[in-house]
Structure 1
Amino acid sequence: MPVRPSIAGIDSPDRLAEVLRDAQYIADEGLSTAGYLALALGKPLLLEGAPGVGKTEAAKAIASVLGRGLVRLQCYEGIDASAAMYEWNFPRQMLAIRQAGEDFINLYGDEYLIARPMLQALQNPRQTVLLIDEIDRADPEFEAFLLEFLSDFTLSIPERGTLRAEEHPVVVLTSNRTRELHEALRRRCVYHWIDYPAPALEAQIVMMRASTVAERTAAAVVAAVNRLRAEPLAKPPGVAETVEWAEAATLLNAQGAAWPTAFARAIGVALKDQDDVSYVAPGLDALLAEVAA
C-alpha cells in the first residue's frame, strides 16, 4: 500500500491556516481543518462552492506551502481517460519503426509515453499536488473512471501493467456543483463547502491581495459586492472580482475620479455579463454612493 504523504511541519489545522496565510490565502477553521485531515489521512480533498469563492486558489496555496508543483487537470464535458492519464506518441512510434528497419524496438518505452496530469502525480507524488478542477463539468463516466485512482492511487497501462504510487499523492478536487457528484466519489474524499467569506474576512483578503487599497475602500467594495450577490445575477462577483474591483477603483481615484464615480466606471471588473450590468445599472449610482459615504 502507498504510504501517506509527508506533511512535515504541518501538525495541526492551526498550523496549516498559519502557513496558508503566509502564502496569501486566508483559510477559515473549517477549510484548515479539512485540509489538514486530508493531508494527514492521505485522502483527496473535495472543495465545493459557488464560482469565485477561492477553491482553485486553495489548491494553489496548498501546493505552495508544501513546496510542490501544481499539476492541474481541467475537466470539461467529454473529457476522456487519455486526456487525464496518458497517451502514446504515435507519430514518434511510427518514425522509430521506419528508422529501426529489422531491429527490435520497444514501442512502449518512456520515450514514447506522454504523461498527463494523473500519471504525472503518480510518477512524482512527493513533488506535485494534483488539482482535478471542476469535476462537475466532466461526464459521470469520467467520474466513475476516477474511483479506482482515488481509492488505490493506481493506473493500469495495458502495454506496461499497473503503476502504483510509492506514496499517496496530494489530490484536491473542486466542484461548482452544477450537478451532483456520485456518492462513491464523495466517500473517498474529505469534504468541505467553501462559501463566500464574511464581509470582515473578505476585506482582509482585499487588503492582503491588493496592498494599494485602503481599509475604507476595501470595506466599501465588500459592502457593494455583498449587495450585488443578493441580486439574481447570472454571474455574481467572486472574491477575485472583489479584489480586482478595489484595485481598479483605487487606480481611477488616483487619476482624479471621485469615489462613487471610480466604483461605477470600474464595474466591468466586478460584473462580466451584459445582462447583469444592465440589471444593476438603474440603482448602481445610489448603491455606490451609499457604500462610499
Structure 2
Amino acid sequence: MTNTAIEFTGQTRPQSERMKFLRRLLKRKTVAIGLVILVVFVLLAVLAPWIAPYNPYKLSIVNRLKPPSGVYWFGTDEFGRDVFSRTIYAGRLSLLVGAAVVTLTSVIGVTMGLLAGFFPKLDAPVARLIDAMMAFPDILLAIALVAALGPSLATVIVALSIVYAPRLARVVRASTLVIRELPYVEAAVSMGISTRHILTRHVLRNLVSPIIVQATFLFASAMLAEAGLSFLGLGVSPDIPTWGTMIAAGRQYVGQADWMTLFPGAAIVLSVLSLQMVGDGFRDLLDPRLKKDI
C-alpha cells in the first residue's frame, strides 16, 4: 500500500509541476496570443490538403489577378492560382524548414558547446571556430553556402543549420563552463563516473531551459531566413510555393495586385512574431534572474 502511494505521488508530481508551469506561461497575454497564432498556422499547414479550396499548382489564366472575393479569399496571382491555397501550402514548407533547422542546429550546437565548455583543451579551438563563424553576417553566409552547394530544400536546411549552430553553441558553452565547476559535477568526476554519463545526466539536463529558449528564437530566424533565400531565388524550386517566392513574384504587380505580396508577407510577420512571443515567455519563466519580475 505504501509503495503504491509513493509511486502514485512520484507520477503526479511531475504532471502537477508541468501544469503549474503551463498555467504560469498562459497567464501572460502575449504568450497566450502567440501560442494561439502558432497553433493556427500549424493546423493550417497540417490540414492544408483538406482546407485549401483549390489546387495551389493549377493554372487558370482566365482568372489571373482576381482581387480577394468570396470565391478567391486572398485573390489570385499572375497565373490564376489561388493565393490562399498557395499561402497555407507555403506555410508547410516554412514550418518544415524551421523544425529541421532547429533539430540539426541543436545537434551541432549542443555538441560543440558541451565539448568546448567541459574539456579545457578543446575550449580554445572550438571557441575560436564559433567566433569565426559568427563574424560573418547570417544571411550572407547562408547565401554563400547555398550558392556553393546548389539551391534545394536539403541545402537550405544544412546551410541555415551551419549558420545558426554557433549561436546555440555559444550559449551552451557558457552554461557548461559554470556547471562544470559545481560541487555535484566535481563529486561525480572524483567518483570515477564516466564522462558520457556526467555530460548527459548532470550537465545536459541542466541546459534544457536555455536550449528551449534559444530553439524558439532560432525557429523564427530560420523561417525568416528561408523566406529571404526564396525571395532571392536561392531556396527551393520556384514551382514549390513558399512565402518568399510568392512575395518575389508579387513585387512586379505592386499597385495592381497588392494582395499577392500582402498575404504572404502577413503570414511571415505573424508566424515569426508568434514564435518570438512564445520564446519571450519561456525565457522569462525559465531564467531565474527574471522570475522575480513576473
Q: TM-score, normalised by structure 2?
A: 0.28
Query: Greater helix percent: which structure?
Result: 2
Q: TM-score, normalised by structure 1?
A: 0.28
Query: Greater strand percent: which structure?
Result: 1
